């Protein structure tokens, strides 16, 4: 099958430090794919490259047959790439519902609208998203008052507002309890399964990776080390030596 995302010789330099060394990577449509590797491997940098967050990226990024290498985050979002951040980002001074509605309004491309009818038309969709991420009972709460786990779920819900073809989650479970991690990622996996969208996520918790991912890419020192199914990765001696055998 055609890959939904193809990275060709992606290279990113910070001064003299080469954070990504000619990363070439294909992501098949509909796959749940995990990006793992020790700290400094370049996982988050790669996600940031796909999401258009970094200037001066060399190489070529192809999304659904189109060169997206130099596009801004906003235009990538419009093309169907959704994301969450390593450190949760939401509109802290708004209510949960307003956050979701902002995401829905922005995704609809009608941010200049002065009509509150737009809210009414999208309220069912917004409630639906809140139900998907199990936050419908917190709709009137201010985001600043939410727990970390709730915020991460909210961010996931917001990322879903635009029905992204490709969802990028950068360490979605960082800082969460084991129970919360599995809860969130099972929710994500179910949603991906149902909608047939593609998921690329960075994750440190190997249990989560083994359970959620269909394939895994291991990165080390800015390069792709090996790609395979969770079972293959678990059995790979090189991976065990460089990563699994280390501090995990």
Partner 1 sequence: MNAPAHPTELSRRWSSLSGIDINWKLVIPALILAEVINRTTGASTTTLLTEIIIFALFASSLNLLMSFGHMVSFGHSAYFGLGAYGFTLAVTKAGLPLEAAVLLGPLVAALGGLLFGALCVRLTEIYFAMLTLACAQITYTVLFQWYDFTGGDTGITGFMAPRFGLSGQNFASLTLAVVTLSLFALWWIVRSPLGLSIRAAGQDRFRAEALGLTVRRVQLTAFVIAAFFAGIAGMLYAVLHGSAFPDYAGLGLTLDSLIMVVLGGLNSFAGGIWGAIIYKLLGAFVPSLVHEWELVLGLILLVIVLTAPKGFAGLIARLGLDRKGGR
State the residues that interact with partner 1 by CB under 8 A.
51, 53, 72-75, 77-78, 82-83, 85, 89-98, 101-103, 105-107, 109-116, 118-120, 123-124, 127-128, 131, 139-140, 155, 158-159, 161-162
* Closer to partner 1 by Cβ: residue 70 or 231: 70
Cβ 111 to partner 1 shortest distance, Å: 4
Residue 62 forms beta bridges with which residues? 6, 67
Residue 202 forms beta bridges with which residues? 35, 170
* Closer to partner 1 by Cβ: residue 127 or 183: 127
Pairwise CA distance, residues 172 & 178, whole Å: 12
* Closer to partner 1 by Cβ: residue 37 or 151: 151
* Closer to partner 1 by Cβ: residue 7 or 47: 47
Residue 58 forms beta bridges with which residues? 11
Pairwise CA distance, residues 167 & 189, whole Å: 11
Dihedral sign for Cα atoms in the order 142, 143, 148, 150: positive
Q: Is the backbone of residue 56 left (phi > 0), alpha (psi -120 to 50) or beta?
A: left
Cβ 207 to partner 1 shortest distance, Å: 28
> Which ranges of 133-245 does DSSP label H, i.e. alpha helix?
148-160, 178-195, 206-212, 230-235, 237-239
Cβ 152 to partner 1 shortest distance, Å: 13
Cβ 197 to partner 1 shortest distance, Å: 16
Determine contact, residues 203/36, Cβ cutoff 8 Å.
yes
Cβ 125 to partner 1 shortest distance, Å: 10
* Closer to partner 1 by Cβ: residue 171 or 205: 171
């Amino acid at each position: 099958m055609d890959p939904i995302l193809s990275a060709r010789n992606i290279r990113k330099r910070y001064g003299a430090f080469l954070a990504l060394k000619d990363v070439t990577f294909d992501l098949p449509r509909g796959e749940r794919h995990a990006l793992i590797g020790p700290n400094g491997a370049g996982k988050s940098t790669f996600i940031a490259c796909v999401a258009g967050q970094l200037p001066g990226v060399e190489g070529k990024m192809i999304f659904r047959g189109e060169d997206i290498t130099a596009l801004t985050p906003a235009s990538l979002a419009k093309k169907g790439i959704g994301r969450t951040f390593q450190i949760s980002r939401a509109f802290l001074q708004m209510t949960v519902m307003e956050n979701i509605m902002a995401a829905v309004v922005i995704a609809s491309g009608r941010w200049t609208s002065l009509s509150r009818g737009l809210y009414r038309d999208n309220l069912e969709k917004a409630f639906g998203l809140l139900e998907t991420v199990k936050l419908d009972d917190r709709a009137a709460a201010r985001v600043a008052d939410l727990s970390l786990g709730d915020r991460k779920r909210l961010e996931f819900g917001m990322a879903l507002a635009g029905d992204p073809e490709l969802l990028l989650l950068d360490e979605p479970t960082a800082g969460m309890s084991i129970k919360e991690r599995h809860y969130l990622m099972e929710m994500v996996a179910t949603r991906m399964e149902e909608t047939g969208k593609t998921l690329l996520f960075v994750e440190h918790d190997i249990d989560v990776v083994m359970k959620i991912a269909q394939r895994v890419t291991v990165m080390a020192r800015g390069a792709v080390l090996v790609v395979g199914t969770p079972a293959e990765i678990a059995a790979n001696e090189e991976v065990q030596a460089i990563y699994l055998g280390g501090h995990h």
